[in-house]
Amino acid sequence: MRSLNEEDLLSSQYIDKKTVQECLESLPTSLIESDCTLMKAIPNYIQPNSPLISRIKGIILKSHFLWSNGISNGCVSVGGSFLDIADISRKIDFTNYELLHIWDKMKLSLSQIQEEYSKRSDNESLFFLSHFDGILDEMKLFAENNSCIAISKEEYDRVHDLIIKLRISVSSNSSHNISELLIEDHTNDAISMLVDVKPEERFLKFQSEYILLANKLVLKQSQYLNSCIKHFSWVVETYSDMIPQAVFKPILEYILIVYTPYFNGELDWDIPYAKKDDFEKGLNIIYSTFQKWGGKNIFWKSYKPRFVNG
């Protein structure tokens, strides 16, 4: 029987499950331990009740790739690998004890990142720390997928809040910060980061990002227009008292004007990546805030929802 390499493991065309299992079980532990990519791939191919599950879990729990952040002896190395443990933990059932072990190792890695961040203040050093964004995203995903771990709510909230705080701080100095994500139309990624912003910082630090988001709605240009209207209307409704009206009132008015022809019968709904029922709901929310701020729009004042089912 030939040996199984990583290309086999990562290929969706390789479907001989029995052969895969035999090859996986024959892999030397030392090979798996030394190869992060292989360790990530194996959980995709383990069969239920396979004895390999216990073996791979043992390797993962002891692995130096688990929450590897590149920090060692006060130095930070860039470009290292770490395990996608959030994804792995969805494919392999870890016991609560094992999840707690992963959680504790995550906390240690997180504290190291926090320490490195607190030591650096100049822009060049902060930019250098932008490579932590990937592992912080992984930490956030793991924490949210495993919130049932037997820890106190206070500890969970403290750790989760720290992950988000560091992720936002790192992103603001990253080559892929929120503004650039929006400009490059990685809009869903940008929105997922904006969701985590603290309410009191939302328009204090990220006003320009929300202007960019609104501009996508005005121009009707994004592969994620539906996400744009959902998030923007949610923010407008939820934080109407915190939004600088002088800046955003004209923007809300223009959004309403731009979409009026699509709801008064003048134009057919032919906007790509946009669902009319979602926009109807979002635009009504935007109008409610616009009206609350003293704005007037005759059409939207009298508009009755019509497209409940799209």
Q: What confidence tens digit (pLDDT) does each residue in 239-290 have?
A: 999 999 999 999 999 999 999 999 999 999 999 999 999 999 999 999 999 9
pLDDT digits (tens, 9 = 90+) for 138-187: 998 899 888 877 788 889 989 988 888 888 777 655 445 788 888 888 88
Per-residue confidence band for 25, with pLDDT thresholds at 50, 70 and 90: confident
Say if residue 98's pLDDT is above 90: yes
3-state secondary structure of 148: coil
Question: Residue 128 phi/psi, 5° resolution?
Answer: -60, -30
71: part of which helix (H) or strand (E)?
strand 71-72
CB of 150 closer than 8 Å to CB of 96: yes
Separation between Cα atoms, residue 209 and residue 154, nearest integer Å: 32
CB of 295 closer than 8 Å to CB of 253: yes
